Amino acid sequence: MSDTQWETYEVFHQSRRGKPHEHVGSVHAPDPAMALQMARDQFARRLECVSLWVVKSKDVTQTDYQDPNFFSRMFDKSYRDPKAFDAPAKEKE
């Protein structure tokens, strides 16, 4: 059967200036301009919103949940943490 439901766009919503855009879901739309309108009616009809981004779902490149190594951190890397450099109170005097 042919799919006539249009492709999907991921929607990012910014509630006010200064806040990050947040992923809120996706819409089916025929093109980017209509995707923005569909996103506005679906995701901004109640919530305060100053900006919407839409990106074709197929343009999102993502990591693989099943890859155990992409985010691996096996050895102690606390040297990267600012706290690792706090001198003990005694030595400061």
Partner 1 sequence: MPSKVTSKSNDQLLAEFEGRIAMGDKVEPGDWMPEEYRKNLVRMIGQHAHSEIVGQLPEGKWIPFAPGFRRKLTLVAKVQDEAGHGQLLYRAAETLGKSREEMMDELLSGKAKYSNVFNYPTPTWADVGVIGWLVDTAAVINQSMLAQGSYGPYARAMKRICYEESFHIKQGYDAIVALTHGTPEQKAMAQDAVNRWWYPTLMMSGPPDKISEHTERAMRWRIKTKTNDEVRQEFVDHIVPQIRALGLDVPDPDCQLDKSTGRYKFTAPDWEELRRVVNGDGPMNKERLAVRRKAHEDGLWVREALAVKAAKTA
Partner 2 sequence: MNELISYLTALADDELVLGHRDSEWTGYAPILEEDIAFSNIAQDELGHSLALYTLAEGLGAPSPDTMAFERSWKQFTCCRFVQYPKGDFAYTVMRQFLFDSAEHVRMKSLASSSYEPLRDCSAKIFAEEAYHLMHTRALVERLGDATEESHKRMKAAATAAFPQALGMFEESEGADTLVKQKIIIPNNLLKEEWLSAVVPILEGASLTVDSQSPSDDGGRRNNHTEHLRQLVADLQQVYQMAPGGSW
Residue 3 binds: one of partner 1, partner 2, none (C-beta under 5 to 8 A by kind): partner 1
37 binds partner 1 (CB under 8 A): no
Q: Which is nearer to partner 2, 10 or 38 (CB)?
A: 38
Q: Which is nearer to partner 2, 13 or 29 (CB)?
A: 29
Among the listed residues 19, 31, 50, 84, the single contact to partner 1 using CB under 8 A: 31
8-state DSSP, 16: S
Q: Which is nearer to partner 2, 40 or 56 (CB)?
A: 40
* 64 close to 70: Cβ distance less than 8 angstroms: yes
The string of DSSP letters for 51-93 reads EEEEEEGGG-----TT-SSTT---S--GGGSGGGGPPPGGGG-
Query: Per-residue contact track with partner 2, 8 to 47, x per CB under 8 A?
Result: -------------------xxxx--xx--xx-xxx--x--
Task: Kindly give, in sequence order, each residue whose CB lies less than 8 Å from that of residue 30, ignoring residues fewer than 6 positions away.
Answer: 6
